[in-house]
Amino acid sequence: MTTAPAPLRVALLGGGVVGGAVARQLALQADDLAHRVGRPLELVGIAVRRPGRDRSELGVDPALFTTDAEELVTRADIVVEVIGGIEPARSLILSAMEHGASVVTANKALLAEDGPTLYAAAAAHGVDLYYEAAVAGAIPILRPIRDSLAGDSIRRVIGIVNGTTNFVLDAMDTSGAGFTETVERAQALGYAEADPTADVEGFDAAAKAAILSSLAFHTRVSSADVHREGITEVSARDIAAAREMGCVVKLLAICERVDGPDGPGISARVHPALIPLSHPLASVREAYNAVFVEAEGAGDLMFYGQGAGGDPTASAVLGDIVAVARTRVLGGRGPGESAYAELPVLPIGQAITRYHVSLEVADKPGVLAAVATVFARQGVSIETVRQQVVTDDQDVSRAMLIIVTHAATDAALSATVDELAGLDTVNEVTSVMRVEGN
């Protein structure tokens, strides 16, 4: 008589939107997942803060809910962490690894802050650490970078990795509304949190940029290494100016290998930028995410889909659970940290891109010549100049110069802007935005 294989025990930390979706799918797909893995997956517990809450819609045994996460992680083969934040998530993950459990997490903040500690613990205890859901929800991007492109050389990763900011900027573009009004609309529709700071100030995207940079360039990059700017200063005027150029404004996470003055390094930055309508990322609308990868051999690749939400994120989590479970059934471990390159993360001043600069100037002869002299003195080449008169709500007319530069360092452009602000003929530098994707 053949003995049925013992199930792999799965512990779930977190019963919120994502955790609930994971629990539900584990129950609904139990038979299929058992065939895909080679052994059944048994959910042995779900750690939550309020065990008495009605969660009947998940279709799991109410007895599985517990507040004792510390005990739960000691009796599982696979621990799934979807509670987020730094603590207690870090301590629970480390405890799970100490007790021999592999870990699947969606915790971008923890990975970006202390990924090396988690990798070291996984290696020390011979277990796996998978985190596909930490970046861009359901979109499979981390495993392709880590595995499918492992034999290639990635030059650049540029992406829209935060759905809230993409929704806000897209809505500003289509409606002409201002930033504050559009954020309020996003909150009413459930696309933005009551406190949207992590999204609109770029913290969420910066954590994801750190993870992408670490994988793509085999170097430890933390969120503190990523230059970060949010979208709070993007105005309806900026959106209109982008449209006039045949561009849209997107909050981009940009990770690239560059040649610095002392050799190769990494530029990792998050900021709003203009991208031409011809670029694939320009067509990413509403709360969707997309990541564009430029590799030496594979060329240009784009990964697109839903970047957040319970079911999409649970899809990525379940994919990691199956991958980790298969490894345990077959014996051995999956790939660990690859940080052999140890490239320096270069300061933002060494980043090179093009710029869109708007100036309010005095309406008199010689202004353009004075402005052009400043750009030349700082070594920033001008690509195009457009002059226009803008009339505001009080019927006051203002002379504007709209300048697009050729590629220059961020330091050179910053010095240019500082000098322009000191000219008697420049009333105000009204906007400075980077131009990407050309």
Distance (Å, whole) CA 138 – CA 144: 13
Confidence class of residue 52 from pLDDT cuts 50, 70 and 90? Answer: confident
Backbone angles phi, psi at 411, to 5 degrees: -65, -40
Mean pLDDT of 270-280: 96
Segment 150-186, tens digit of pLDDT? 999 999 999 999 999 999 999 999 998 999 999 999 9
pTM: 0.93
pLDDT confidence of 55, banded at 50, 70, 90?
confident
Are 426 and 361 within 8 A, CB to CB?
A: yes
In whole angstroms, how far apart are CA 185 and each of 17, 99, 171, 192, 193? 22, 46, 9, 9, 11
pLDDT for 392 equals 61
HSE at residue 416, side-chain half, CA atoms within 13 A, is 29
> 310-330 and 17-28 are packed helices; what angle lies between their axes, rounded to 10 degrees?
60
Neighbours of 423 (CB within 10 A): 17
DSSP 73: G
pLDDT (0 to 100) of residue 364: 86
Tokens coding 228: 């970060």
Percentage of the chain beyond pLDDT 70 is: 98
Structure tokens, 90: 């870090």
pLDDT digits (tens, 9 = 90+) for 89-98: 999 999 999 9
- The reported pLDDT for the residue numbered 395 is 56
Residues 6 or more apart whose Cβ sits within 8 Å of residue 402:
241, 356, 357, 358, 359, 385, 386, 387, 388
Residue 388: its pLDDT value, please?
82
* 3-class secondary-structure state, position 6: coil
- In the prediction, which pLDDT does 397 show? 67
What is the Cα gyration radius of the chain? 25
The stretch 79-84 carries a mean pLDDT of 96
* Residue 1: pLDDT over 70: no
> Mapping DSSP to helix (H, G, I), strand (E, B) and coil, where does residue 5 land?
coil
Name the nearest CA neighbour of 228 among 251, 248, 196: 251
Residue 310: partners with Cβ closer than 8 Å, 6 or more residues away: 17, 18, 20, 21
Reported confidence tier of residue 19, pLDDT bands at 50, 70, 90: very high
What's the Cα-to-Cα distance from 426 to each of 98, 355, 372, 374, 422, rounded to whole Å?
63, 18, 12, 12, 7
What's the chain's average pLDDT? Answer: 93
Helical residues (DSSP H) of 128-279, grouped into ranges: 142-143, 163-175, 179-188, 197-200, 203-217, 236-244
- Band (pLDDT 50/70/90 cuts) for residue 57 is confident
**Catalytic site residues?**
208
Longest dimension (CA), the chain: 97
Q: How confident is the model at residue 105 (pLDDT cuts 50, 70, 90)?
A: very high
Name the token pair of 93: 């993950």
pLDDT digits (tens, 9 = 90+) for 180-232: 999 999 999 888 888 999 999 999 999 999 999 999 999 999 999 999 999 99
Q: Give me the pLDDT at residue 256, please.
A: 97
Q: Does the pLDDT of residue 126 top 80, yes or no?
A: yes
pLDDT higher at 392 or 66? 66
Per-residue pLDDT, 434: 97
